[in-house]
């Protein structure tokens, strides 16, 4: 089983990824030229037909989000690309940002045209300093070539710029409303929702926020048509997905696979994961980064890597992270480490998340040290529910996901570690 490269098709083929000439020579900017010949509703229909689920983690259908913004009559409207890529185990957006930045610009440009927006922003993770320079060069080259700026493609009123904003290293700033606060120059903390960002977003105006990979899918959808894109994947989620293989797997890296590919193939095919690097049996897989659930081998037999199949198995694709752990890894130790991440990254706005993450880590440490009693197990279980239900944003709401799946499937490991 090999990759199917529709998003990564230009990656590695350009000597200068920011060059407009090289991008055009490989089919670049053909989609925006096609889009401006279409009725706007037809563009929307293509995105709808594609059944493109947001690639940032929440899997919300792009078509639904785009329709919501399109039929909002308030202007100006803003387009924002989320390139914060803070989720541990996730390193796919950096491939597109550094190796094919003009594809992201073209996706944002198509959105700009469709929504009549004149300003786009891309929020790039602060640690991607060198990639930011590549992206700035791509913006500069696109502007010189007339794809950004005024009267784009000679069309009166088609004026659109893209501004790059650097993140500063906070995971929570990848949450879309925190990201918008950060772009506005405020502290990067999440807003209470509703209102929806498509109604009250950047500078309180209707705003589209999509992930890098989602935007990179747009020119592909315009090129091949929404239905053809959908056919590559599955009914519930069209296209390919960039997956990030890491941990105890032989061939760590980013791969592009059609949605619906058997998980076995992703893990064991020689062209993809190549099997476990340690030669030991699979222990568990952490899907979608730290905020996602753990999958255990006995529950994943025959599972397809599609949105619906993972949901049916109590799992989620999330950002596309696939962190592979062999059977030598103790699940409680692993989860304590995950909790350390959340303790560090909680923004502190709400108590259940700020203190709950700390208490949860302490509880897991009690198991590690062999102190845990029956009441600790009860406390652990009730805290998992409370933190999820009482936290204001997606960070706090996902803190418990991995622990719940670990406890649900490997309770015996927890019990064996009790005092």
Which residue, 216 or 332, is less far from ligand FMN as judged by CB? Answer: 216
Closest approach, Cβ 352 to ligand FMN, in A, equals: 15
Q: Which of 75, 69, 158 is nearest to 110 (CA)?
A: 158
Residue 346 contact partner, candidates ligand SF4, ligand FMN, none, CB within 5 to 8 A by sort of partner: ligand SF4
Q: Is 132 in the site for ligand FMN (CB under 6 A)?
A: no
Q: Is 234 in the site for ligand FMN (CB under 6 A)?
A: no
The piece of 36-44, 82-90, 273-281, 330-338 that touches ligand FMN (CB under 6 A) is 82-90
Q: Is 391 in the site for ligand FMN (CB under 6 A)?
A: no
Closest approach, Cβ 36 to ligand FMN, in A, equals: 23
Query: 355-392 as b/e, with b when 16 or more CB fall inside 10 Å?
Result: ebbebbbebbebbeeeebeeebbebbeebbeebbeebb
Among 2, 12, 42, 60, binds ligand FMN (CB under 6 A): 60
Q: Is 174 in the site for ligand FMN (CB under 6 A)?
A: yes
394: helix, strand or coil: helix
Residue 158 to residue 8: CA distance in whole angstroms = 28
Closest approach, Cβ 32 to ligand SF4, in A, equals: 36
Angle formed at CA 164 by CA 208 and CA 195, multiple of 5 degrees? 25
Residue 366 CA from chain centroid, whole number? 33
Which residue, 60 or 371, is less far from ligand FMN as judged by CB? Answer: 60
Closest approach, Cβ 291 to ligand SF4, in A, equals: 11
Strand locations in 56-126, DSSP E? 78-83, 119-124
Which residue, 56 or 273, is less far from ligand FMN as judged by CB? Answer: 56
Angle formed at CA 244 by CA 239 and CA 248, multiple of 5 degrees? 140
- For 355, residues 6+ apart whose C-beta sits below 8 A from its C-beta are none
Q: Is 209 in the site for ligand FMN (CB under 6 A)?
A: yes
Angle formed at CA 358 by CA 404 and CA 388, multiple of 5 degrees? 40
Residue 209 contact partner, candidates ligand FMN, ligand SF4, none, CB within 5 to 8 A by sort of partner: ligand FMN
User: Residue count at the site for ligand FMN (CB under 6 A)?
Assistant: 23
Closest approach, Cβ 223 to ligand SF4, in A, equals: 38
372: helix, strand or coil: coil
Q: Is 176 in the site for ligand FMN (CB under 6 A)?
A: yes
Q: Is 94 in the site for ligand FMN (CB under 6 A)?
A: no
Residue 176 contact partner, candidates ligand SF4, ligand FMN, none, CB within 5 to 8 A by sort of partner: ligand FMN
The piece of 81-89, 223-231, 253-261, 262-270 that touches ligand FMN (CB under 6 A) is 81-89
Residue 88 contact partner, candidates ligand SF4, ligand FMN, none, CB within 5 to 8 A by sort of partner: none
Q: What is the DSSP string of 31-48?
A: HHHHHTTS-HHHHHHHHH
Closest approach, Cβ 370 to ligand FMN, in A, equals: 33
Query: 179-206 as b/e, with b when 16 or more CB fall inside 10 Å?
Result: bbbbbeeeebbbbeeeeebbebbbeebb
List of residues contacting ligand SF4 (CB under 6 A) = 172, 190, 346-350, 353-354, 391-393, 395-396
Residue 261 contact partner, candidates ligand FMN, ligand SF4, none, CB within 5 to 8 A by sort of partner: none
Which residue, 54 or 283, is less far from ligand FMN as judged by CB? Answer: 54
Q: How many CB atoms lie within 10 A of CB 25?
A: 12
Q: Name residue 222's beta-bridge partners.
A: none
Among 55, 77, 286, 410, binds ligand FMN (CB under 6 A): 55
Q: Is 344 in the site for ligand FMN (CB under 6 A)?
A: no
Among 6, 18, 23, 82, binds ligand FMN (CB under 6 A): 82
Kindly state the helix (H) or strand (E) to which residue 321 belongs, with its residue range: strand 321-326
358: helix, strand or coil: helix
Which residue, 354 or 359, is less far from ligand SF4 as judged by CB? Answer: 354
Residue 378 to residue 293: CA distance in whole angstroms = 21
Residue given tokens 């689920």 in the structure block? 53
Q: Hey, what are 378's tokens?
A: 């009860």
Residue 392 contact partner, candidates ligand SF4, ligand FMN, none, CB within 5 to 8 A by sort of partner: ligand SF4
Residues that bind ligand FMN (CB under 6 A): 54-58, 60, 82, 84-87, 171-172, 174-176, 209-211, 214, 393-395
């Amino acid at each position: 089983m090999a990759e199917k490269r529709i998003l990564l098709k230009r990656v590695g083929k350009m000597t200068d990824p920011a060059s407009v000439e090289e991008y055009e020579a490989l089919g670049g900017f053909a989609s925006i030229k096609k889009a401006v010949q279409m009725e706007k509703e037809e563009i929307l229909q293509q995105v709808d037909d594609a059944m493109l689920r947001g690639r940032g983690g929440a899997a919300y259908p792009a078509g639904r989000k785009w329709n919501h913004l399109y039929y909002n009559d308030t202007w100006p409207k803003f387009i924002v690309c989320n390139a914060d890529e803070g989720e541990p185990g996730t390193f796919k957006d950096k491939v597109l940002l550094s190796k094919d930045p003009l594809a992201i610009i073209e996706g944002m440009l198509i959105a700009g045209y469709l929504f009549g927006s004149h300003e786009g922003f891309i929020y790039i993770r602060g640690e991607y300093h060198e990639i930011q320079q590549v992206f700035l060069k791509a913006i500069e080259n696109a502007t010189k070539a007339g794809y950004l700026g005024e009267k784009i493609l000679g069309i009166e009123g088609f004026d659109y710029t893209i501004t790059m904003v650097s993140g500063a290293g906070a995971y929570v700033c990848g949450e879309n409303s925190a990201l918008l606060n950060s772009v506005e120059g405020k502290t990067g903390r999440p807003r209470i929702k509703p209102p929806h960002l498509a109604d009250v977003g950047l500078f309180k105006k209707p705003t589209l926020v999509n992930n890098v990979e989602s935007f990179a899918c747009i020119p592909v959808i315009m090129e091949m048509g929404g239905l053809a894109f959908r056919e590559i994947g599955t009914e519930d989620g069209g296209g390919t997905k960039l997956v990030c293989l890491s941990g105890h797997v032989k061939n760590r890296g980013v791969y592009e696979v059609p949605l619906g590919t058997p998980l076995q193939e992703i893990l064991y095919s020689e062209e993809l994961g190549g099997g476990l690097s340690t030669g030991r049996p699979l222990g568990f897989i952490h899907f979608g980064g730290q905020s996602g659930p753990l999958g255990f081998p006995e529950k994943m037999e025959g599972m397809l890597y599609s949105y619906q199949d993972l949901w049916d198995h109590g799992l989620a694709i999330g950002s596309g992270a696939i962190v592979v752990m062999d059977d030598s890894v103790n699940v409680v130790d692993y989860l304590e480490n995950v909790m350390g991440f959340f303790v560090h990254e909680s923004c502190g706005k709400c108590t259940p998340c700020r203190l709950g993450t700390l208490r949860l880590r302490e509880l897991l440490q009690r198991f590690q040290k062999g102190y845990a009693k029956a009441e600790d197990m009860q406390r652990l279980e009730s805290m998992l529910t409370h933190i999820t239900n009482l936290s204001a944003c997606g960070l706090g709401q996902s803190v418990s996901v991995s622990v719940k799946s670990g406890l649900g499937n490997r309770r015996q490991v927890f019990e064996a570690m009790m005092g």
